C-alpha cells in the first residue's frame, strides 16, 4: 500500500529566505510523486511531478523538488519565499498512469514579511 | 481551457437529509475522481471513473454514498442519508489521456448539522 508522510504540520519562513517542505513516501515499485498547493476556499493546484529522469524537477511559481530514492523523499523547495506562497501544501504518491493518488496530511507554509 | 467545474460551492443540510454534488471535468479528460477532504487532512479518494466505468470505489461508503458518470462526461455524487461525519469538502478532479497529474475543481463544502 502507498503512504505519504509530511512530518511538519507548519513551516514558518521569512520572506526572501529559502523554503523547504518535507515529504517522505512508501510505495512498492517506482513512485510517481506530486506536489499540490491549496489556497483558502480553493481546490488543489498542481505544482510539479516526478515520474522518471532527472531527480530535480522544476514546477510552477519557482518551486522545485528533489527526488531521493535512497531516502524515499521528495522535498519541495524554493530559493526565495514570497508572502503569497503562504498556503497548504500536499505531497502525493501514485504508482501508475490512471491510478489514484494517496495524499499526505498537508503542511501549512507561512511566509512572514 | 476551462478547468474542472463543481456545484454547489457550499451546502448546509441536516443529518439524515440527502445531498447531491455535480462535477464537470476538463473537456476530453477520460478519468474523473471524487475525493473527500476532512478539515485538517489530505484528500481521500472516494471513487474513480474511467469514461463511464468505475475503476476504484473501494473507499466509497456504499450504504450511503453513490456516484454516477453517465455518458462519460459530467458526474454526480450523492449522499443519502447524511451523517455529521460527512461534513467535509468534496473535491472533483480529472486527468487526461496519457497524463498522470490530476486537475482539481474548487470543491463543495458540505456542513451537516
Q: Which of A4, A49, A103 sits opposite B101 (nearest CB)?
A: A49
Q: What is the pLDDT of residues B43-102, one digit of tens each?
A: 999 999 999 899 999 999 999 999 999 888 999 999 999 999 999 999 999 998 878 889
The mean pLDDT value for A51-79 works out to 95
- For residues B70 and A77, which has the higher predicted lDDT (pLDDT)? A77
Rounded to a whole number, what is the distance in Å from the CA of A95 to chain B's nearest CA?
10
**Do residues B34 and B46 touch, judged by C-beta distance below 8 A?**
yes
Q: How far apart are CA A17 and CA B49, in angstroms?
A: 42
pLDDT band for position A98 (cuts 50, 70, 90): low
pLDDT of residue B97: 82
Question: What CA–CA distances, in Å, run from A12 to A7, A18, A69, A88?
Answer: 14, 11, 27, 12
Q: Which residues contact B34 (CB under 8 A, 6 or more apart)?
A: B23, B45, B46, B47, B48, B67, B75, B77, B90, B91, B92
Residue B22 touches partner A, C-beta closer than 8 Å: no
Residue A55 touches partner B, C-beta closer than 8 Å: no
The x, y and z cell numbers of residue B71, run together, are 455518458
pLDDT of residue B1: 65
The mean pLDDT value for A42-70 works out to 93
User: Is the confidence at residue A70, as pLDDT, over 90?
Assistant: yes
Phi, psi of A38 (to 5 degrees): -130, 120
User: Is the confidence at residue A99, as pLDDT, over 80?
Assistant: no
Q: Do B100 and A49 touch (CB under 8 A)?
A: yes
The mean pLDDT value for A13-34 works out to 94
What is the arrangement of strands in the sheet containing B65-68, beginning at the earlier edge strand? Answer: B5-7, B19-24, B75-79, B65-68
Amino acid at each position: 500500500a502507498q503512504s505519504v508522510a509530511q512530518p511538519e504540520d507548519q513551516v514558518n519562513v521569512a520572506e526572501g529566505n529559502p523554503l523547504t517542505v518535507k515529504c517522505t513516501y512508501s510505495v512498492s515499485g517506482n513512485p510517481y510523486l506530486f506536489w499540490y498547493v491549496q489556497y483558502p476556499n480553493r481546490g488543489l493546484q498542481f505544482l510539479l511531478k516526478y515520474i522518471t529522469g532527472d531527480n530535480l524537477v522544476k514546477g510552477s511559481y519557482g518551486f522545485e523538488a528533489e527526488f531521493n530514492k535512497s531516502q524515499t523523499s521528495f522535498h519541495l523547495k524554493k530559493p526565495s519565499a514570497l508572502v503569497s506562497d503562504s498556503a497548504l501544501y500536499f505531497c502525493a504518491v501514485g504508482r501508475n498512469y490512471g491510478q489514484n493518488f494517496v495524499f499526505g496530511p498537508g503542511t501549512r507554509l507561512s511566509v512572514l514579511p | 481551457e476551462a478547468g474542472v467545474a463543481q456545484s454547489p460551492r457550499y451546502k448546509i443540510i441536516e443529518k439524515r437529509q440527502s445531498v447531491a454534488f455535480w462535477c464537470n471535468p476538463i473537456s476530453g479528460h477520460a478519468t474523473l475522481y471524487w475525493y473527500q477532504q476532512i478539515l485538517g487532512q489530505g484528500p481521500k479518494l472516494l471513487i474513480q471513473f474511467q469514461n463511464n466505468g468505475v475503476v476504484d470505489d473501494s473507499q466509497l461508503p456504499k450504504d450511503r454514498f453513490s456516484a454516477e458518470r453517465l455518458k462519460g462526461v459530467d458526474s454526480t455524487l450523492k449522499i443519502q442519508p447524511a451523517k455529521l461525519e460527512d461534513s467535509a469538502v468534496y473535491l472533483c478532479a480529472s486527468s487526461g489521456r496519457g497524463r498522470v497529474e490530476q486537475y482539481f475543481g474548487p470543491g463543495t463544502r458540505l456542513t451537516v448539522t
